[in-house]
A and B are shown apart, each in its own frame.
Chain A
Amino acid sequence: MSATLIPVSPPAVVLAAVQAAVEQTYTRFCGDKPTVESEMQADHDCECVAGIISFFGDAAISLAWVLDAAVAPVLAQKFARFPIPFDSSEMGDVTGELVNVIAGDVVAYLEARKFHVKMSLPTVARGARLRLMPDKGVSVSHVNYATRAGKFWLRLAAQVD
């Protein structure tokens, strides 16, 4: 007998952990504090790169951190300390590392609040008008940010069994 999947919103503690980790990491490297523009799914009509990583344990959650083509090279250069063009193979590599660092912060933040998750290896997608499609029954939350360099978005998809 197969388990029934019940869609749930990502737990508030996970969303708070992800937002704190992303905002702190961005500010640490780029200097300015990103501002939340909206929490609606938006059609991002631009070239972008997404670092995607999953958490499993007390909840099953997928995080995508999507950076537009203006902000990605700025953040990548600040993180790696050498220039990385948006269309280079190294951009995928560094985006994976960035989301991996964020995931480490999220796991530690949640662990301190007795919410136990482990993280997967990261994957990366790059494209124009990138729209990630959730499986049926999966609930998705979005947070859209603006920065001095450009825009980025968070996408959290969650389900429990």
Chain B
Amino acid sequence: MAALKTLIVDDSGIMRKMVMNTLGEANLAEFDFVEAEDGQSALTKLKDSKFDLAFVDWNMPNMTGIDMIKAVRKLERANDDDPLVLVMITSEKTMGKMQEALDVARADHFISKPFTTEEFQVKLKKVIEKAQMLRMRRNRVQVQVAAEAEPAKKGWGWFN
């Protein structure tokens, strides 16, 4: 399985490093990491390139994580795109914040800081499987589109 292209969004460089280290230690998949230091920068990176997974902090300058997730979901609805798998990693711990992230913004999962490798192994297994499944589906669609485009090219050849 190819590495999952994963965006780590946090204004703290230490926390980005901790999330990447812990994901590596959890050994749930291979990851190809890209970092962003706020929601605005993350949105730009998401528009420029296709990602499988994103880990997003809540409280950040310029654009908060919750606003970024809402913007991503809005774009997905507008473009009829497959959903990006989004995990919120935050020091927020109240039920209200958890509900806002999961039910209102539609994040896939919510993890409170501080976290452990064991927590990642248990809590992220299904989320990572979902990211892998969506990636395989996207790859299949790309192959199918390419295969359908090939005969069409040949077909046009009759008229050339």
* The stretch of B9-17, B45-53, B118-126 that contacts the partner chain: B9-17
Asked whether A79 lies within 8 Å of B12 as measured between CB atoms, the reply is: no
Q: Which listed residue, B13, B18, B96, touches A111 by the CB 8 Å rule?
A: B96
Bitwise, B63-91 to A at CB < 8 A (1) or not (0) is 00000000000000000000000000011
Judge if B112 is at the interface, Cβ distance under 8 Å: yes
Q: Which of B12-65 contact A (CB under 8 A)?
A: 12-15, 17-18, 21, 59-61
Asked whether A105 lies within 8 Å of B93 as measured between CB atoms, the reply is: yes
Asked whether A108 lies within 8 Å of B12 as measured between CB atoms, the reply is: no
Contacts of B96 in A (CB 8 A): 111
- Please measure, in the bound complex, the distance between the C-alpha atom of A112 and the C-alpha atom of B138, giving whole angstroms: 44
Given A79-B114, A97-B113, A121-B61, CB of A107 within 8 Å of CB of B14 = no
* Interface residue tally for chain A (C-beta within 8 Å): 23
- Please measure, in the bound complex, the distance between the C-alpha atom of A107 and the C-alpha atom of B59, giving whole angstroms: 14
Contacts of A80 in B (CB 8 A): 14, 17-18
Judge if A39 is at the interface, Cβ distance under 8 Å: no
Report the minimum CB–CB distance from B65 to chain A (whole Å).
12
- Please measure, in the bound complex, the distance between the C-alpha atom of A121 and the C-alpha atom of B14, giving whole angstroms: 15
Asked whether A103 lies within 8 Å of B91 as measured between CB atoms, the reply is: yes
Asked whether B12 lies within 8 Å of A93 as measured between CB atoms, the reply is: yes
Judge if B108 is at the interface, Cβ distance under 8 Å: no
- Please measure, in the bound complex, the distance between the C-alpha atom of A82 and the C-alpha atom of B11, giving whole angstroms: 19
Asked whether B14 lies within 8 Å of A97 as measured between CB atoms, the reply is: yes
Asked whether A100 lies within 8 Å of B18 as measured between CB atoms, the reply is: no
Contacts of A111 in B (CB 8 A): 94-96
Asked whether B14 lies within 8 Å of A93 as measured between CB atoms, the reply is: yes
User: Which of A28, A97, A107, A111 has the most C-beta atoms of chain B within 10 angstroms of its own C-beta?
Assistant: A97
Chain B residues at the A interface, C-beta cutoff of 8 Å = 11-15, 17-18, 21, 59-61, 90-96, 112-114
Pick 11 A–B contacts, CB within 8 A, sort by A: A28-B114, A81-B21, A82-B21, A90-B13, A94-B14, A97-B14, A97-B15, A97-B113, A104-B90, A107-B94, A121-B61
